[in-house]
Amino acid sequence: MRKLAFTTAGLLAAPYMASAAEETEAVKEAVINDPSEGWEILWHHVLIDLTAIGILFALIVAFFMLSYRRKSENEEGSSPKLTLGGSLAWTLVPVFVFLADDFYLAANGWKLWNDQRRVPDNAMEVKLTAMMYNWEFQYDNGTLSDPDADGRPVLVVPQGKPVVARMHSEDVVHSFFLPSYHIKEDVMPGRITYLWFYPKNLGETVLTCTEYCGVGHSSMYGKVKVVPAAKFEEMMLAKTGAAPAAAEAAPAEAAGAEGAAPAEGAAPAEGTSAAPAPGAGK
């Protein structure tokens, strides 16, 4: 409920608030457009669109197939000859209908795309390294995420904080896929790619590899574990024996202030698709 109120307020007020740097954390979080939710809504629209076209077309085809069966051996079809006007109409009208639907879908797809690629300012950064056949996650205080009891990789993240993974591979192309967050991006040597997601609900979901990478491809899975923010801080504290660097300040600022390890993550990526470092541009 609180979220909803803030979302509406945040949306309306966003233009005015953009410059108000000292605005509270709550408002900032409230204007996050969760791409995963956006995906589900858009998918729903697309599905309705496709089903409608599909059923309409299928009915027409079935109707034609049933109604125009041959009655006598020598009968020929009697389809009307198209005049030039008819021919043009049968070209231009479908072209416009298809184009209209295409552009409608493109516009909506683009909108979601912007949400998917624009990393929120307060995102927590994780450095992801892929290798045959494992994933490694490094927080910006330098510690690694621990595997679970079976030795499977686990990415632990705090609830309610956007996470951006800055990714590269040590060997071949892999792809980091989070089915529950409806997002994936390839991970390769020589380039740094990124994706971000918004862990809103507590619990564990699957992460897995979706670019063929050899004999262990289908065993390259693990999980994302979302824990309460307080528990996450505790965990980080236990790991480092110090306060987590990422929790409050944006990493770029932290890096600038301390000139320490996190700078690596925030350095401009080689790849053309490199994200602006979260928090940059303020």
The residues in 198-257 that bind other proteins, with binding defined as CB under 8 A, are: 206, 208-219, 221
Cα distances from 96 to residues 45, 60, 61, 99, 110, in angstroms, run: 20, 20, 21, 5, 20
Sign of CA dihedral 30, 34, 40, 42: positive
Which residue has 């996190």 as its token pair? 262
Taking CB within 5 to 8 Å according to partner kind, which of other proteins, Cu ion, none is near residue 228? none
DSSP 116-137: HHS--TTPEEEEEEEETTEEEE
Instruction: For residue 126, state whether it binds other proteins (rule: CB under 8 A).
Output: no
148: its two tokens: 């679970």
Strand partners, 165: 126, 195
Taking CB within 5 to 8 Å according to partner kind, which of Cu ion, other proteins, none is near residue 15? none
Instruction: Tell me phi and psi for residue 48, to 5 degrees.
Output: -65, -45
Q: How far is the CB of 19 from other proteins (least distance, A)?
A: 26
What is the per-residue binding string for other proteins in 153-192, x denoting contact by CB under 8 A? ------------------xxx-x-x-xx-xxxxx-xxxx-
Instruction: For residue 87, state whether it binds other proteins (rule: CB under 8 A).
Output: yes
Instruction: For residue 46, state whether it binds other proteins (rule: CB under 8 A).
Output: yes
Taking CB within 5 to 8 Å according to partner kind, which of Cu ion, other proteins, none is near residue 60? other proteins
Which residue has 């480092």 as its token pair? 240
Considering only residues 2 to 41 of the shown chain, the ones binding other proteins according to CB under 8 A are 35, 38-39
Taking CB within 5 to 8 Å according to partner kind, which of Cu ion, other proteins, none is near residue 159? none
Q: How far is the CB of 119 from Cu ion (least distance, A)?
A: 24
Q: How far is the CB of 227 from other proteins (least distance, A)?
A: 20
Cis peptide before 212 (omega within 30 of 0): no
Is residue 29 within a helix (H) or strand (E), and if so which, with residue range? helix 25-30
Q: Are 176 and 184 in contact (CB under 8 A)?
A: yes
Q: Which residues contact 37 (CB under 8 A, 6 or more apart)?
A: none
Q: Is 24 or 91 the residue whose CB approaches other proteins more closely?
A: 91
Q: Choose which of 91, 146, 243, 264 interacts with other proteins (CB under 8 A).
A: 91
Q: How far is the CB of 68 from Cu ion (least distance, A)?
A: 51
Taking CB within 5 to 8 Å according to partner kind, which of other proteins, Cu ion, none is near residue 191? other proteins
Instruction: Tell me phi and psi for residue 188, to 5 degrees.
Output: -140, 165
Q: Choose which of 11, 50, 237, 260 interacts with other proteins (CB under 8 A).
A: 50
Cα gap 175→184, rounded to integer Å: 7
Q: Is 122 or 138 the residue whose CB approaches Cu ion more closely?
A: 138
